[in-house]
Structure 1
Amino acid sequence: MNDQNNIKRNLNKRITKTSIKANSENDLTISEKSVANKSILNESSGAADTGLVTATISRSKYLIFLQIASRLLTFLLNQLIVRFTTAKAFGIVAVQLDFLQSTILFLCREGFRCALLRSSNAIKNRNSSIDETDPKDCDKAFSEKLEKVLPKDAVRNKFESQIVINLGIIPFFFGIPFSIVSGFLFYNSLKASSNYSDSALSPEKETENKILLISISFYCFGALIELLSEPLFALAQNNLLFHIRALAEISGGILRCATTFVLIWKRHFFLNFLLSKYILNTFGLSFIITCDNDSWAVLSFSISQVIFSSVLISVYLGFLLNNKLVNSKFFIPRSILEYE
């Protein structure tokens, strides 16, 4: 009996040692695999960062071309229109109305643009939580993380795209009350100035004030259209589609210049056109027909500004819809928790 008990004890010890050895080898294999996966992941991240920098530098030529083209178009427009208008109209448009629009756009969207440029940090922090995963699940975690690190041609993932939408739409809603208040204050300020006020307003002054109000409204409306295109702009920037921005702004700039020049140059043709008279009379705007050259020039610039903003959002939306980067529900904010 003693011999049998000794044999059983020795056998149990051997089985225990064999099991411990197998477990240690298994743990070592998992650890080595985890280290190897992390090494590959770091190499992939480095390659992705290098590719991102290279793509950014190579595509920045479109932004350089955009800056040159926009300045050239503005210069040519001024040279063409200076023959048909006065310094007073130029001063109202280039100094006062442009200042109004720039103020609305700067205060409503610049802070959100900076936030959107940094939104990728939230994605990195979210993905970094995978490092805490249990080693037994390292293969699954590694494959998921590697998929998120590697670059993509379109939107990197739905989570990041939804962040762009949610943040990008805020400036538009913030700009609605701001445009109304700033436009109202700006109009009262101009009307109360020496150029737009008399002790007894003549019919000509009343017409000037009405056209000034319409022009300010058009500039504010154009600013709101640009704010509405902010999610599209952010999505294009997020995917390094700089050529889309250049195409949109140059196309809008060309049409703005052409519209301004044609409206000022062919003023009598538009105001004496039967359809124009019918439309103006229908909406109670018949006073525009009798306005002077300066008021018509200011109104022409404001109409052209709305056209520029409309072309801007149309090019962005058309390209992104055509490439299936957005859909019909793009402007509807959704909770990012749906992608967790």
Structure 2
Amino acid sequence: MGSQNVLSDTTKLASSTMILQVVFRVLTFALNAFTLRYVSKEIIGIVNVRLTLFYTTVVFLAREAFRRACLSHSSQQSWRQTINLIWLAVPLGICWSLILGWIWLNVLEVPDPEIIPHYSTGVLAFGLSSVIELLSEPFWVLAQAHLFVRLKVVSESLAIITRCFITVILVLICPHWGLVIFSLAQIVYTSLLALCYILYFARFLGSQEAQKKSFPLRRMVDFFPQFSASQDFLDWKQTWLAWSFFKQSFLKQILTEGERYVMTFLNVLSFGDQGVYDIVNNLGSLVARFVFLPIEESFYVYFSKILERGKTIRSQQKEEISSASEVLESLLKLVTLIGLIIVAFGYAYSQLALDIYGGSMLSGGTGPVLLRFFSLYVLLLAINGVTECFTFAAMSKEEVDRYNYVMLGLSVSFLGLSYYMSLWLGSVGFILANCFNMGLRIVHSVLYIRRYYKGSPYQPLSGLLPSTAAVCMLAISTALTGYSEVALCCDGGWPFRLAHVAVGALCLLLTLGAIVLSETKLTTFIRSHFLSGRTKKGV
């Protein structure tokens, strides 16, 4: 498949993912806001921090390494051996679920059953749900590798919406069930997610569409591991690459969820404070989930397909390198501008957003301060997602191994920094520690990209520098909306709040206008690839 065809499919995947994420998650957003008014901060802290950390840790450690290794481009890749390798995630997930489940039940502080009942049931349910989700892993990898545009988003969105509806209904009918409500909803979520993938491929295999796409599997039984007399059970080069990513996954998980590990194991915040922090974290990362994560996941597939891992640019096709440089530059410009807009408008609208979403429980106290600092973290998160998706797609196995040592240093410094800054600054300390470590990861990836393109005419890192007109308009918008908040929001009634929103909307329109007029190359990239109707028809 040529680089332009891959790019067309990838941008269609990313844009469709973003649109469907917004459409489906608006309902989820509203249902969660409703639930917050009926559930205590302590239960939210246990579910969203303690139990969710258990679930995400099991799933991440069991599958992340296999995903990265199996999606890496190789001209000698055998899908039979790849599927055999992917299935190793299931027994690995069972082992992690048992080990971590014992720690969560016997080592960590158990909450007061009078305030938070059924804690052990919650641990067992979240552990079971992680294993259920891993059963869909071969289907997920095949769908990503063949750029099935809407399957992933629709299945995840339907599962999330179902989980939210079940949670709301049970909260209203049986509020005394406590964690059992969230446990049942979590099991239904992962079961429905796996079922969507299985049913889709049961219909897809053997169809004319599968033949047209030259899909490598013919029957559902082909998704299961099989021995072959003509080749080894595993591709050992791919397996060792997975092992390299597996060693790295420990460190990446600490960097990704480090503040939750500190909260969980060191008890620096109460369960109630953990709940408020997690709500603000989720609200602040909406754009990251809607926009940045789909871009990162989709374009990791793109870079992996057109770049030969571990080879210099002189050893690769000129057309592929040129395309990768152009795409990387445009992506960096896109996420940098989105992140700067969030920083510029996040300061003046944090308190209003929290008041609308969760009432005085969130808008009073430290909530607005947390969300304002989090807007800066979102900017760093956006840049890091794009730079790392290119870096990990281009690195050789040896470079991945060396990067593990970098990750080890970052993990240790992050945990120490999170602990001491949280003692000093409370919840804000976690966000600042995240910003510091995310900045170091960006520096590492930027240096790698600079070395990768050294000696070539390509300069993709110029995408990190917005135009002067865009920066000036962002600065003016920050000042105007900041003054508007002081003058109009948020102690007055709704007429004053709506006036404050109107000021922000006008500033946002002017900012977007300045970006469109001054960033012509980015505008052309978005129009050609994200908004074009000429791309191939996807699933």
Structure 1 position 242 matched with structure 2 position 149: yes
Structure 1 position 332 matched with structure 2 position 332: no
Q: Which amino acid aligns with 1:232?
A: F
Match of 2:80 among 162, 166, 173: 162
The 1-side partners of 2:20 and 2:125 are apart by: 25
| CA apart distance, 1:214 | 1.3
Q: Are the structure 2 counterparts of residues 71 and 96 from structure 1 closer, same or farther at C-alpha, using a change threshold of 3 Å?
A: farther
Structure 1 gaps, min length 5: 1-46, 127-158, 197-203, 268-291
Q: Which residue of 2 aligns with 1:29?
A: none
Deviations 1:61-83 (A, max 9, x none): 22223543565344323211122
| CA apart distance, 1:336 | 5.6
Alignment of 1:129-168 (within 5 A): 160-168=78-86
Q: Which residue of 2 aligns with 1:68?
A: 22
The 1-side partners of 2:228 and 2:5 are apart by: 28
Alignment of 1:285-324 (within 5 A): 293=176, 296-324=177-205
Alignment of 1:111-122 (within 5 A): 111-118=65-72, 120-121=73-74
Structure 1 position 182 matched with structure 2 position 74: no
Q: Are the structure 2 counterparts of residues 94 and 326 from structure 1 closer, same or farther at C-alpha, using a change threshold of 3 Å?
A: farther
The 2-side partners of 1:262 and 1:245 are apart by: 26
Q: Which residue of 1 aligns with 2:63?
A: 109
The 2-side partners of 1:207 and 1:256 are apart by: 20
- Tell me if the contact between 1:162 and 1:334 (Cα under 8 Å) persists in the aligned partners: yes
The structure that has the greater radius of gyration is 1
Q: Percent identity?
A: 27
Higher helix share: 1
The 2-side partners of 1:307 and 1:173 are apart by: 21
Of residues 245-254 and 317-326 in structure 1, the stretch that sits farther from structure 2 once superposed is: 317-326
The 2-side partners of 1:168 and 1:63 are apart by: 24
| CA apart distance, 1:107 | 1.1
Structure 1 position 54 matched with structure 2 position 8: yes
Q: Which amino acid aligns with 1:170?
A: L
Structure 2 gaps, min length 5: 206-216, 233-539
- Tell me if the contact between 1:264 and 1:300 (Cα under 8 Å) persists in the aligned partners: yes
Q: Which has the higher contact order (CA 8 A, sep 6+)?
A: 1
- Tell me if the contact between 1:252 and 1:308 (Cα under 8 Å) persists in the aligned partners: yes
Name the SS for the 2:52 alignment partner. Answer: helix
Q: Which amino acid aligns with 1:297?
A: G
The 1-side partners of 2:66 and 2:95 are apart by: 17
The 2-side partners of 1:64 and 1:213 are apart by: 36
Name the SS for the 2:147 alignment partner. Answer: coil
Structure 1 position 233 matched with structure 2 position 114: no
- Tell me if the contact between 1:112 and 1:168 (Cα under 8 Å) persists in the aligned partners: yes
Name the SS for the 2:219 alignment partner. Answer: coil
Name the SS for the 2:150 alignment partner. Answer: helix
Task: Tell me the number of residue pairs that the alignment of Structure 1 and Structure 2 aligns.
Answer: 221
CA RMSD of aligned residues (A): 2.5
The 1-side partners of 2:97 and 2:57 are apart by: 10
Q: Are the structure 2 counterparts of residues 171 and 69 from structure 1 closer, same or farther at C-alpha, using a change threshold of 3 Å?
A: farther
Q: Which amino acid aligns with 1:76?
A: A
Q: Which residue of 2 aligns with 1:214?
A: 121
| CA apart distance, 1:330 | 3.6
The 1-side partners of 2:231 and 2:16 are apart by: 34
TM-score by length of 1: 0.59
Q: Which residue of 2 aligns with 1:172?
A: 90
- Tell me if the contact between 2:139 and 2:223 (Cα under 8 Å) persists in the aligned partners: no
Match of 1:87 among 10, 18, 41: 41
The 2-side partners of 1:241 and 1:169 are apart by: 21
